[in-house]
């Protein structure tokens, strides 16, 4: 049940707490007997989402095991409202696994958006880029191993040797988050402004969340994802 992402990555559900009915249950404790007449759980969930009543969504929790390139991990970890345990490259030796983009993802710098991609690179340029990425990663890893080696030498400390590895090396972690903050993560990272390489993880998680809490996910999709923020002046 793990979903593969990028060339060596994955997202896997380890555990979860609650479901659509846990959101409703928490909302009903707030409103007491008063909500008895709302016959429809889905309607209540949509109401909560629309009115930014976010605390009932915090009653659900998801724990994932994720394998991802370090430069994606650096974006991901900025979401502070989560619990994380990452593989320690001080303690252990990283595997020889690097993210190398698919040819159709080898994009040029966007000419309109400083923080984005433009057209796909072609021909010799694309080939040269791929070769550089592969060669540098391979060589960096060879030297990583060489520095670590205790064969006829002392061997550099792991916490130092790892600094030779480029940002496309893979790491992994356990990541646990409540549903409200997961939606916040997905809104920002399944969005078109997010970098492709984190967006594919967000997309994979969207699929998992849709299975897990279908009513909440559908409300999220309608009111957050596709939503537009109009200014008072724009209205």
Ligand X SMILES: Cc1cc2nc3c(=O)[nH]c(=O)nc-3n(C[C@H](O)[C@H](O)[C@H](O)COP(=O)(O)OP(=O)(O)OC[C@H]3O[C@@H](n4cnc5c(N)ncnc54)[C@H](O)[C@@H]3O)c2cc1C
Site for ligand X, residues 77 to 136, rule: CB under 6 A: 78-86, 88, 91
Q: Which residues contact 118 (CB under 8 A, 6 or more apart)?
A: 107, 108, 109, 110, 111, 112
Binding site partner of 101, from a second copy, ligand X, none, Cβ cut-off 5-8 A by kind: a second copy
Spatial distance between the Cα atoms of 235 and 224, rounded to a whole number of angstroms: 18
User: Which tokens is 16 given?
Assistant: 């979860």
Give the residue, chosen from 2, 10, 214, 223, that forms a contact with a second copy under the rule CB under 8 A.
Answer: 223
CB of 125 to ligand X, least distance (A): 26
On whether the CB atoms of residues 179 and 61 are closer than 8 A, the answer is yes
Q: Tally the residues of the chain.
A: 235
CB of 226 to ligand X, least distance (A): 17
On whether the CB atoms of residues 113 and 194 are closer than 8 A, the answer is no
Q: Can 162 be counted among the known catalytic residues?
A: no
On whether the CB atoms of residues 184 and 76 are closer than 8 A, the answer is no
On whether the CB atoms of residues 217 and 60 are closer than 8 A, the answer is no
CA-nearest of 141, 65, 66, 64 to 100 is 141
CB of 79 to ligand X, least distance (A): 4
CA-nearest of 63, 50, 130 to 98 is 130
Per CB under 8 A, contacts with a second copy among 201-220 are none
Give the residue, chosen from 21, 40, 109, 138, that forms a contact with a second copy under the rule CB under 8 A.
Answer: 109
Residue 58 lies near ligand X (rule: CB under 6 A) = yes
**One of 78, 189, 199, 224 is an active-site residue; which one?**
189
Q: Tell me which residue has its CB nearest to ligand X.
A: 88
| Burial category of 71 from C-beta neighbours within 10 Å (exposed 0-12, middle 13-18, buried 19 and up) | middle
Binding site partner of 71, from ligand X, a second copy, none, Cβ cut-off 5-8 A by kind: a second copy
CB of 235 to a second copy, least distance (A): 5
Binding site partner of 194, from ligand X, a second copy, none, Cβ cut-off 5-8 A by kind: ligand X
Q: Which residues contact 146 (CB under 8 A, 6 or more apart)?
A: none
On whether the CB atoms of residues 62 and 176 are closer than 8 A, the answer is yes
Residue 13 lies near a second copy (rule: CB under 8 A) = no
Residue 40 lies near a second copy (rule: CB under 8 A) = no
Give the per-residue contact string, 130-159, with a second copy (x = CB under 8 A; - = no): --xx--xx-xx--x--xxx-x--xxxxxxx
Active site residues: 189
Judged by the rule CB under 6 A, the positions of this chain that interact with ligand X are 30, 53-55, 58, 78-86, 88, 91, 178, 180-181, 184, 188, 193-194
């Amino acid at each position: 049940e793990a979903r593969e992402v990028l060339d060596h990555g994955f997202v896997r559900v380890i555990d979860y707490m609650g479901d659509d009915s846990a959101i409703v249950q928490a909302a009903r404790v707030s409103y007491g007997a008063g909500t008895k007449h709302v016959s429809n759980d889905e309607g209540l969930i949509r109401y909560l989402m629309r009115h930014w009543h976010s605390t009932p969504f915090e009653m659900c929790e998801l724990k994932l095991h994720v394998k991802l390139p370090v430069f994606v991990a650096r974006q991901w970890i900025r979401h502070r409202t989560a619990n994380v345990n990452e593989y320690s490259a001080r303690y252990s030796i990283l595997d020889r696994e690097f993210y190398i983009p698919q040819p159709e993802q080898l994009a040029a710098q966007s000419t309109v958006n400083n923080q984005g991609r433009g057209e796909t690179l072609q021909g010799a340029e694309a080939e040269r880029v791929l070769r550089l990425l592969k060669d540098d990663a391979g060589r960096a890893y060879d030297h990583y191993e060489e520095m670590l080696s205790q064969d006829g030498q002392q061997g550099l400390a792991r916490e130092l040797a790892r600094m030779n590895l480029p940002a496309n090396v893979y790491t992994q972690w356990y990541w646990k988050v409540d549903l409200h903050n997961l939606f916040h993560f997905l809104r920002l990272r399944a969005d078109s402004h997010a970098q492709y390489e984190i967006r594919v993880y967000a997309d994979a998680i969207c699929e998992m969340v849709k299975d897990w809490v279908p009513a909440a996910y559908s409300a999220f999709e309608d009111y957050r994802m596709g939503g537009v923020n109009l200014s008072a002046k724009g209205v």
